[in-house]
């Protein structure tokens, strides 16, 4: 066993759960009227989506089958196959066993449903958020403290978020998940300050996972290229630039931020632009802005680490597998591949695998 393996608790900084009907069993009795129904797409029987009173809440995340997983491995060289009971958390022990096989000590789990716009009804969003958070709280109890998670919040009603964030903190959550855009607002809008105040007071980071909560922007950015680059990655990167240029890092100076599942190739460009565009301003941006503003970015094994580290530093990067999904970000064998990389020192690997995610998530 190597020195790295002896000293490092490996933290998968980006794993997922795939929601099933079981989640909505956690709705309060008085909130059963908000229970979504899972429908089959008339155009594709393999695609399912959630409906509530005629409103499409989003897709049940399509996890790859064996054939699709084999194709992904052949095309990209990345494994994505996960047991259905593990990714849907109907068998927590199986998830833990699979983590052992992958060399992962702790996973930080994100939702799958909230990546796209959810409901436009504030009352429904509050109820659905409570149900999801209660579900993950129970999963955490069964997971021997190895399954940590980021809570969802009612972004349409930020003042209602504090009780849910507090509950999540008390039940194993290590982050508050925000989308870069919510309807007509970007996440830097002061409208969301109540969420940031609650998170900072509880020492919880804001985790901006790849996503897009604006139906209009989603439609506008959809193009023939597909694959989520324009619809998901670009808005998430844009929100990080907006955060750096905003007052938020000074207003909430102790708040930590994670930008998850957008690789890290964009970091030098964003920092370079921020420096140039802030010249002569009251608050010029420095090359160390990620460290100064407590911003962390998740990487992928095919990122250009030496170039990125020259801007982001080795102290603000984490890595994840995207466990449970099967897209271009997914890499079930990411930890093994990262450990085997020859152009990074053992110290840098230890930071990215363990020390940095512990600091970001407060683990």
Per-position pLDDT tens, the chain of length 363: 443 443 469 999 999 999 999 999 999 999 999 999 999 988 887 788 899 999 988 888 766 555 655 554 555 565 657 888 999 999 999 999 999 999 999 999 999 999 988 899 999 999 999 999 999 999 999 999 999 999 999 999 999 999 999 999 999 999 999 999 999 999 999 999 999 999 999 999 999 999 998 988 888 888 766 568 888 899 999 999 999 999 999 999 999 999 999 999 999 999 999 999 999 999 999 999 999 999 999 999 999 999 999 988 899 999 999 998 766 667 889 999 999 999 899 999 999 999 999 999 999
Q: Measure CA 290 to chain center.
A: 18
pLDDT digits (tens, 9 = 90+) for 147-161: 999 999 999 999 999
Chain Cα centroid distance, residue 351: 19
**Distance between CA 247 and CA 192 in Å, rounded?**
13
Residue 14 is predicted with a pLDDT of 97
Q: What CATH code is assigned to 3-34+65-361?
A: 3.20.20.140
DSSP 159: G
Report the C-alpha gap between 257 and 112 in whole angstroms.
20
The pLDDT value recorded for residue 186 is 96
Domain assignments of the chain as residue spans, ordered by start: 3-34+65-361
8 A C-beta contact, residue 235 and residue 180: yes
pLDDT, residue 43, reads: 80
Whether the Cβ atoms of residue 208 and residue 178 lie closer than 8 Å to each other: yes
DSSP assignment letter at 42: S
Query: pLDDT at position 45, please?
Result: 77
Q: Please report the pLDDT score of residue 77 as a whole number.
A: 61
Burial (CB < 10 A; 0-12, 13-18, 19+), residue 144, is exposed
Model pLDDT, residue 329: 67
Q: Tokens representing 362?
A: 């407060």
Q: Which of 152, 149, 150, 116 is nearest to 131 (CA)?
A: 152
Q: Give the pLDDT confidence score for residue 91 in this predicted structure.
A: 96
d(Cα 166, Cα 163) in Å, to the nearest integer?
5
Question: How much is the pLDDT for 325?
Answer: 79
């Amino acid at each position: 066993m190597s020195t790295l393996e002896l000293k490092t608790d490996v933290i998968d900084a980006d794993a997922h759960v795939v929601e099933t009907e079981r989640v909505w069993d956690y709705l309060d009795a008085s909130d059963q009227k908000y229970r979504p129904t899972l429908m089959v797409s008339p155009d594709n029987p393999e695609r399912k989506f959630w409906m509530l009173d005629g409103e499409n809440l989003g897709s049940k995340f399509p996890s790859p089958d064996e054939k699709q997983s084999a194709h992904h491995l052949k095309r990209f060289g990345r494994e994505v196959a996960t047991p259905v009971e593990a990714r849907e958390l109907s068998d927590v022990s199986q998830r833990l066993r699979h983590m052992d096989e992958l060399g992962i000590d702790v996973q930080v789990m994100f939702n799958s449903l909230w990546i796209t716009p959810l409901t436009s009804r504030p009352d429904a969003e509050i109820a659905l958020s409570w149900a999801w958070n209660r579900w993950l709280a129970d999963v955490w109890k069964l997971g021997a403290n190895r399954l940590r998670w980021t809570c969802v919040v009612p972004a349409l009603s930020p003042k209602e978020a504090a009780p849910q964030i507090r509950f999540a903190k008390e039940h194993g959550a290590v982050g508050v998940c925000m989308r870069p855009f919510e309807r007509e607002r970007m996440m830097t809008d002061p409208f969301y300050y109540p969420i940031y105040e609650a998170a900072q007071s509880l020492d919880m980071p804001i985790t901006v996972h790849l996503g897009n909560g604006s139906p209009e922007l989603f439609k506008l950015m959809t193009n023939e290229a597909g694959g989520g680059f324009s619809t998901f990655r670009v808005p998430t990167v844009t929100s990080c630039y907006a955060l750096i240029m905003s007052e938020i890092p000074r207003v909430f100076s102790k708040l930590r931020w994670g930008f998850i599942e957008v690789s890290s190739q964009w970091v030098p460009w964003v920092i370079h632009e921020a420096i140039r565009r802030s010249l002569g301003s009251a608050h010029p941006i420095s090359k160390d802005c990620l460290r100064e503003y407590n911003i962390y970015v998740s990487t992928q094994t095919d990122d250009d680490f030496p170039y990125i580290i020259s801007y982001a530093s080795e102290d603000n990067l984490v890595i994840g597998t995207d466990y449970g999904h099967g897209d271009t970000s997914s890499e079930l064998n990411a930890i093994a591949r990262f450990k085997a990389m020859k152009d990074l020192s053992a110290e840098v690997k230890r930071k990215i695998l363990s020390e940095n995610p512990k600091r970001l998530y407060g683990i």
